[in-house]
Amino acid sequence: MAIFVNENTKVIVQGLTGGQGRFHGLRNRAYGTQVVGGVTPGKSGQDVEGIPVFDSVKDAVSATGADASFIAVPPKAASAAILEAAAAGVRFVVCITEGIPAQDEARVYNTLVRDYPNTRLLGPNCPGIISPGKCNIGITAGEIAELPSAKGPNVGIVSRSGTLTYQALYELKQKGIGVSTCVGIGGDPVPGTNFIDCLREFQADPETHAIIMIGEIGGSAEEEAAEFIKANVTKPMSAYIAGVTAPAGKKMGHAGAIVSGGKGTAQGKMDALRAAGVRVGLNPTEAGELMAEIVKGL
C-alpha cells in the first residue's frame, strides 16, 4: 500500500502546455504515473506528446476518469485552478506554485473545507508526492527514491522543506531503505495538508513501518504534530528541524519559516518532538542514520 496516491491514480496536469507543466508532467509520466490529460483553456484538441489537452478540468475528468490533478500554473491563476479541480470532483490536488498570497491560500483552504470536503489539497509551494514505483506527482526526481519492499520495513516521509524532502529520500536510498510514500507538504503559512494529516495516514498504512518527519522554524505545526504523535502514533520516528541558527524576525526561505515573539524556534520544536518519543537528529544525515538504526530493530 501507500498513502494518498498509488499505481491506480489517474492524473491530469493543469498547465500542461506551459514550460513547467510540460517538463514535470512528462517526467511524471516517464516515471510510470498515469498522466491521462492536461488542462489549458482554449487549447482543447491539442496534445503534449500524446497527452490530450482539454479546456476545463470538468471535461478532462469526464473524458479520462482522472482523480488527481497536478497544478503548475502562475500564482495569479493557482487559486482558481485549485477550486476548479475541486468543483470537478478531483479527490487529490497537488499545487507546486509558490508566491500565492497567504490570504488567497486561507480563502481556498476554507472554501475546500466548507464546500469540497472530499478534495485534499497538497501544497501550495510544495515538491509534491511520490509513492515509489507507483506514482509521482510534482517535481521530485523519482530516481532518488528507494522502492518499498514486500517484506519491509519501509519508511514514510513527511517534510515542510522541498530540498530536505529530496535529501531524506536520498539518505534512505543510500542505506537501501524502502519508502512507502514521501509527502512534501510545503512551507507556506496555510498548507492544504499538514503533518498531522500525513502522520494519521502513515499510522494506518500497513506498508509503512517507521516515519521520518522534517520540520523547520516558524509556526506551531511541529509542536501540534508532537502532541498528536504522543497520543496517536505507535510507529517509531526520527526527525530533523531546520533553522537552528536562524535569527529571530527574519524570514528564512519559506513564507512560514519565521521566528516571531519567541515562538516557532527550532529548539522548542525539537524539545516537543523528543518529549513525544521521536529521535531527533541535529542534521538531515543524522536523522537518516537514526532511522537506519530504527529499521535494524524492526
In a domain, 134, yes or no: no
- Is residue 135 situated within a structural domain? no
CA atoms within 13 A on the CB side of 172: 32
Q: What is the pLDDT of residue 247?
A: 61
Same domain, 205 and 245: yes
132 assigned to some structural domain: no
Query: Is residue 116, in this structure, part of any structural domain at all?
Result: yes
pLDDT for 136: 98
Indicate if 254 belongs to the active site.
Answer: yes
- What does the alpha-carbon distance between residue 45 and residue 55 come to, in Å, rounded to a whole number? 9
CB atoms within 10 A of CB 217: 31
Domain count, the chain: 2
One domain, residues 173 and 291: yes
Residues 99 and 168 in one domain: no
Let me know if 69 is exposed, middle or buried by CB neighbors in 10 A (0-12, 13-18, 19+).
buried
Please indicate, yes or no, whether residues 70 and 146 belong to a single structural domain of this protein: no
Element (H, E) at 13: strand 10-14
Boundary residue ending a domain (122, 155, 170)? 122
CATH number at residue 265: 3.40.50.261
112 and 192 assigned to the same domain: no
Q: Which residues, 6 or more positions from 48, have their beta carbon under 8 angstroms from its beta carbon?
A: 16, 17, 22, 25, 26, 38
- Residue 82 shares a structural domain with residue 158: no
Cβ atoms of 89 and 117 within 8 Å: the answer is no
Q: Is 252 helix (H, G, I), strand (E, B) or coil?
A: coil
Residue at 190: amino acid letter:
V
Catalytic residue among 235, 254, 269, 279: 254
* Domain-ending residue, one of 70, 90, 122: 122
Q: Does 158 share its domain with 24?
A: no
Are β-strands 135-138 and 128-131 bridged in parallel, bridged antiparallel, or unpaired?
antiparallel
For residue 53, the domain's CATH number is 3.40.50.720
In tens digits, what is the pLDDT along the chain, a chain of 298 residues? 899 999 999 999 999 999 999 999 999 999 999 999 999 999 999 999 999 999 999 999 999 999 999 999 999 999 999 999 999 999 999 999 999 999 999 999 999 999 999 999 999 999 999 999 999 999 999 999 999 999 999 999 999 988 999 999 999 999 999 999 999 999 888 999 999 999 999 999 999 999 999 999 888 899 999 999 999 999 999 999 987 755 665 555 555 545 455 557 889 999 999 999 999 999 999 999 999 999 999 9
**Max intra-chain CA distance, the chain:** 57
* Residue 278 falls inside a structural domain: yes
- Structure confidence at residue 212 (pLDDT): 98
| 222, part of any domain | yes
What was the pLDDT predicted at 43? Answer: 97
HSE-up (13 A, CA, CB side) for residue 98 = 17
Shared domain for 147 and 250, answered yes or no, is yes
Strand order in the sheet with 47-48: 47-48, 51-54, 34-39, 10-14, 68-71, 92-95, 120-122
User: Are 113 and 160 members of one domain?
Assistant: no
- Report CA Rg, the chain: 19
**Quick count: other Cβ atoms within 10 Å of Cβ 208?**
24
Query: Could you give the angle at which helices 75-87 and 57-64 cross, rounded to 10 degrees?
Result: 50
| H or E segment to which residue 19 belongs | helix 19-31
Specify if 131 maps to a domain. no
- Is 2 part of any domain? no
**Phi/psi at 11 (5° precision):** -115, 135
Same domain as 58, residue 189: no
End-of-domain residue from the set 68, 92, 122: 122
Cα-based torsion angle of the residue sequence 25, 26, 31, 35 in order, rounded to the nearest 10 degrees: 60
pLDDT number for residue 219: 84
Evaluate whether 130 touches 122 at the Cβ level (below 8 Å): no
Domain that holds residue 267: 141-296
Cis peptide before 52 (omega within 30 of 0): no
Query: Quick one: 190 and 110 in the same domain?
Result: no
Give the type of residue at 267: Q
Does 271 lie in the same domain as 153?
yes
